[in-house]
Amino acid sequence: MRDQIARITEEAQAAIDAAPATPALEDVRIKYLGRKAELPNLLRGVAALEPDQRAAVGKAANEARRALEDAIERKAQALAASELRRRLAKDRVDVTLPADPRPATGRLHLITQTQREIEDVFVGLGFNVAEGPEVETVYYNFDALNHAPTHPSRLLTDTFYVKPAGDIFDPNAVLLRVHTSPVQVRAMEAQPPPIYIVMPGRVYRPDSDATHSPQFHQVEGLAVDTDITLGDLQGTLLAFARAIFGEERQVRLRPHFFPFTEPSVEVDVSCFNCRQGVAADGERCSLCKGTAWIEILGAGMVDPNVLDYVRENGYDPEQVQGFAFGMGIERIAMLKHGVPDLRLLYDNDVRFLEQFG
């Protein structure tokens, strides 16, 4: 019987050593230690032995079983470790490699690109960039910008009030700003003259069609110093128009009205799509409607009444004067890139957006 135990042990040990993987080792365990295996069977037969042999054979068989169990456990751990190593080596991902297929690189939205382009032009001319809140008060949006109480923009049809039930003539009434001009006042409250700033941001009006969106973007400009003239405004806007629309551009100023500038002007840029209103195909230019000029923004000399609201902050209208302007970013982008419908800018169809940048 002891020979038998020795033979089984030797055989089992060889099988354990040879097991190439975890499933094969499990087969070995079942074959040599399972319920139907030789060794356990043999152990069961020990009871039938002569009493003087029983103890020694039983001990040998038990030791053999424990030795095999240990050997299998050690082998199982070794196999598991090497299998894990192999799996990890196979699964290794080099996160520094470009993905396949390479993911599309994002780009800035055309409105953001245009806003930054406009900011860059004015930063190049010595202006700083400032921002103000989109949720404003009647005071900053209208009163301090010299809007008469009767000004039609104040009506519920022209302005989104946050609490329309209240008194819309209360200076503290809250609204969504209809233009970036309130930032002029906030900036002057925050900083004494001289001030040269552009103020980009979102604005809101109850309008919606191919050229109007209830939410759009403007860039406001403000320069206040001791010797600012309308000529400075014209020269600044000429530099701007040439930087954005091409070096051959001209600008012209037409009289207009804004409550917060006096005199006020609308500013046109010479058409970059035609000659004297005649397109390359000999037809009337569709961009400028044959007029050779395209309106791009509103501007003027800061009204002394506006400066009066910030007199305490160093803006004595007898001492300083300035110019201001405001333009729609969407309008600049549409003109520059020939975008036919404002809504294309908000649909976020990648086939449209992909064309820019």
Is 300 a binder of ligand PHE (CB under 6 A)?
yes
| Beta pairing partners, 174 | 137
From 200, 201, 298, 322, residue interacting with ligand PHE (rule: CB under 6 A): 298
Q: How far is the CB of 106 from ligand PHE (least distance, A)?
A: 31
Which amino acid is residue 169, in one-letter code? F
From 29, 154, 179, 331, residue interacting with ligand PHE (rule: CB under 6 A): 179
Is the bond leading into 200 cis (omega within 30 degrees of zero)?
no
Residues in the chain: 357
From 8, 244, 301, 324, residue interacting with ligand PHE (rule: CB under 6 A): 324
Site for ligand PHE in 204-243 (CB under 6 A): 220
Site string for ligand PHE, 242-271 (x = CB under 6 A): ----------------x--x----------
- Nearest one of 317, 318, 324 to 301, comparing CA atoms: 324
Residue 110 in tokens: 């055309």
Size, binding site for ligand PHE by CB under 6 A: 11
- Nearest one of 185, 202, 216 to 308, comparing CA atoms: 185
Q: Strand ranges (DSSP E) for the chain?
A: 128-129, 135-137, 174-176, 195-204, 215-225, 251-258, 261-270, 293-302, 321-328
From 325, 335, 339, 345, residue interacting with ligand PHE (rule: CB under 6 A): 325
**C-alpha 199: how far from its chain's center?**
20
Is 200 a binder of ligand PHE (CB under 6 A)?
no
Site for ligand PHE in 17-56 (CB under 6 A): none
Contact of 31 with 16, CB cutoff 8 Å? no
Is 299 a binder of ligand PHE (CB under 6 A)?
yes
Q: How far is the CB of 260 from ligand PHE (least distance, A)?
A: 6
Nearer to ligand PHE, 28 or 303 (CB): 303
Question: What is d(CA 124, CA 138) in angstroms, rounded to the nearest whole number?
Answer: 33
Is 176 a binder of ligand PHE (CB under 6 A)?
no
Residues within the interface to ligand PHE (CB under 6 A)? 179, 181, 220, 258, 261, 298-300, 324-326
